[in-house]
Structures are given as C-alpha cells and as structure tokens.
Chains A and B, each alone.
Chain A
C-alpha cells in the first residue's frame, strides 16, 4: 500500500484500534524494554508511592498506540517522528487467571496536517482509557510515497 498526499486531506480519519491490557502484558513489556520499575508490576509498591494501583508504562501506551499509524502507513519505517505527553496513568487491574482485560486503551487517529514540501502527513492520535485522555499531543509524522 502506498499513500499519496493528493488522496489525503486534513481531518480525515485513519481508523481506530482497541488494545486490551493485562498485568502479564506489563511484565512482558518490562522484559522487552528493560524498564523494571515496580510501579508497573507490584501493587504494594505502587500504592506505597501514592499511586492508586499498578499502572502501565507510559511507553507501553505510546508504543502500542502507534501501531494504528504503522498499519495505515504500510511500513513502520515511514513513521519518521512520534511524540507525546503523558497526562494520566493507565490503571491496570489484576485479572490474572481470568480471560478479562485489566484495562482497555482506545486509540483513534485523524490527519492533523499535510506538508506538501516535506511530503509528510501528521497523524494526531486520541488515546483514551477509562474515559480519560491518557496521552496529549500524541502526533506521528508519516513520510508519504
């Protein structure tokens, strides 16, 4: 698939994605990324530092949200810039041993801006969990073909 700037317009939706998260997912992300901060896997530790419970790594949320853009772009290498602010933590309930998710992250994206000179599209992501925006200014710049 290739994206041509002439077929795109600002405000266009690129789709949406639902990401179910469990405590096991956070352990996997800790191992894959090397970020073993216990607030992401240990309830007692998380509450001892005044968090409401175990929270997802901000980088888990950021990293999983961008897949919507990667799939739309057709090539992960087309994502030349990606940024966000972390505004609210994603609280992940302990559902170990059940088929239930501990949290659900909803991602949707629209084209925020097209840059004809650079031949890029900026995708603005809306990332929600438990009815709150968990990322702000989540923007990915995609190089077009």
Chain B
C-alpha cells in the first residue's frame, strides 16, 4: 500500500457543525484531569471575563480529528489507520473555545513526505465559529503530523 503523493495541497471543506456543550467541556476536562473552575462553573468563567465555560487548551482535537477522518477515510488517500502514529500536534488559539460555540473545520493537507516504506502527512485544520448570520470567526488553527508506518516499520 502506498500513500497517494497527490494528497499534498488537497483541502476538505467544512462539513458538519460541532456544537460545543457545557457537559462536553466538563467531560473532556475531567478526562484530561483538569480541575480549573473555568471548565466547570459558569460563574468562575464569567469572573475571568468569559461568556461561558472555557474549553481546555487541547479540546479542539475533537473537531480536528473529525476533520482528519475525512482524509484518513478517503479511499483515494491510501491510509491504513491501524498503521498511523501521531507524531506531533499544535494548537494556536485566536480566541478561546467557549460553550455555546458552533464550530466548523476546514482541513488542508500541507505536506506529504515519503519516509522509509511509509509517509509523514501534515494536516492543518482551520476552525471557525459560525455567527448568527453564518459569518465565520477564526477560533483555532491546529496542525498535526501523522506517520503512516510502512511494512516492517
């Protein structure tokens, strides 16, 4: 199996909307053992100037990995998910993710590099919050590299 080199430069447009709920923020915060009150208590978040609960710094991975799934499940990509290793990850927050946000992600394939019998694939998700008039406000940019191990790697 080989990774399709033509993937580089490919984009996948924003698909489904992700509605950020308070209980999801609390669940994710507990799952990463985060105890900051701004993840759990609306008044504590409000005291820091936030309109609602604040998501932990890596919460956007939920939305980014949903976007990545479009690429990984694309039969044209040639990616065997069972051979995927997460190599690096970055989050750049243009503003915090808050409960009540309606988020969409655009996926960009920024790099495809052959490595041994496998490949290193770098993707970027541009995450936007939808406004009432369907305007888009930049919220978070995530970049991630995955190593697809070749045979014997």
Contact = CB atoms under 8 A, between A and B. Distances in A.
Interface of A: 19, 25, 28-29, 31-35, 37, 49, 58-60, 62-64, 66-67, 69-71, 74-77, 79-86, 140
A67 to B, nearest CB: 5
B57 A84 contact: no
B87 A63 contact: no
Contacts of A19: 33
A35 B38 contact: no
Contacts of A63: 31-32, 34, 56-58, 61
B38 A82 contact: no
A50 B96 CA distance: 39
Nearest to B34: A67
B33 A67 contact: yes
Given A70-B34, A70-B57, 5 more contacts: A25-B33, A28-B31, A63-B32, A64-B32, A84-B90
B70 to A, nearest CB: 14
B92 A80 contact: yes
Of residues A64, A76, A77, which shows the largest number of chain B Cβ atoms within 10 Å of its Cβ?
Answer: A76
Nearest to A74: B48
B90 A82 contact: yes
A109 to B, nearest CB: 14
* Among all A-B residue pairs, the 6 with the closest Cβ atoms: A32-B31, A83-B90, A63-B32, A77-B96, A63-B58, A79-B57
